Amino acid sequence: MKRVHNFSAGPATLPLEVLEQAQEELTEYQDTGRSIMELSHRSAHYEEIDKQAKDRLRSLLGLGDKFEIMFLQGGASSQFMMAPYNFLSKDQTADYIDTGRWSDKAIKEAKIFGNVHVPFSSSEGNYDRVPTQEELNFSDNPRYVHFTSNNTVAGTQFPTEPETNGVPLVCDASSDFLSRPIDVDKYGIIYAGAQKNVGPAGVTVVIIRKDFLEQADTENVPTILRYSTHVEKIFNTPPTFNVYMVNLVLKWIEDKGGLSWFKSFNEEKAQKVYDEIDADDFYRGAVEKESRSLMNATFRLPTEELEARFLEEAVEHDLYSLKGHRSVGGIRASIYNACSMGSVDALVDFMSDFRKRNG
């Protein structure tokens, strides 16, 4: 078996130990004579998987009993619609911090349901930074404040939660979910597509604070789009195999040492890449240093021709999926939780060698 160095932004690399366990259990799960994919979502075996995954999330994030957890479908993009559908009406305003492609999409959806105020936007700088606290100009009485904690396309990340003076945060955490500890008390909703840091594509983790959920106005919301529907019970058939995989990844995170361990691990990986970028002016970081992401390191080379050569030669060294997003170009190394230090070292060694030969 050959495993390459995978820097894909998503679907992203998964822990080898998790893949091996899934492989071992693929055709028969726990002496049932069936694959997990063949078991009813009402079965005791699947209900236990669902419970384990939710218990692990509660423990890792310190959620206690104040939050509900759902495993939904439709990707994080479905939450661009579902959150305002449940919590925003025509006579209300929500604040949306605009720091990238995905927050822009979320803003467009929210405008269908109510008023949207943008307290900050870095669109004129091609989303090359996130705001400081002083730059946030919130509206007088926002229903909630939405932000995208990490921006995969540009390669920026909020260093910590925006301070909203008690207004609930609604966060698209897709690309840095479970990469570091967070202050959960500040959040009304946390949602994340699994395919970057916590499992395969096809399931979206949605975490909602109970007292915030009580404020939802769902009179005109279709049943399946109400958060309360999915809190009460498993309403429709969930992506059972995907939730099974998420549960395995959560156990792997626990076994490694939890979110504090991964915070240090991810900081060390990112520092190695950024040190190589900053060694001289051959590589150029694509965003402001204070806004750099620990998950998605983006950079440019002196010419597009050199970038094309860099990507071509990288594959020859088993370094895959380093091409920047089509909307911005350049190079992007996605170094999520499951990206090993060995892969980062291989990338940095290649970058150093490529500079020596082409600088």
Provide the β-strand partners of residue 86: none
Residues 171 and 31 sit within 8 Å (Cβ to Cβ): no
Q: Give backbone dihedrals phi and psi of 213, rounded to 5 degrees, phi first.
A: -60, -35
What is each CA distance from 190 to 69, 135, 173, 270, 272, in whole angstroms? 10, 23, 7, 24, 29
Residues 213 and 227 sit within 8 Å (Cβ to Cβ): yes
DSSP-based three-state secondary structure for 239: coil
Strands 296-300 and 331-334: antiparallel
Which of 61, 155, 150, 141 lies closest to 97, judged by CA?
Answer: 150
Provide the β-strand partners of residue 146: 96, 170
Q: What is the DSSP letter of 332?
A: E
Residues 287 and 128 sit within 8 Å (Cβ to Cβ): yes
Which of 79, 72, 73, 71 lies closest to 96, judged by CA?
Answer: 79
Which are the catalytic amino acids? 102, 172, 196
160 sits in the region (left: phi over 0; alpha: psi -120 to 50; else beta) called beta
Structure tokens at 39: 């078991």
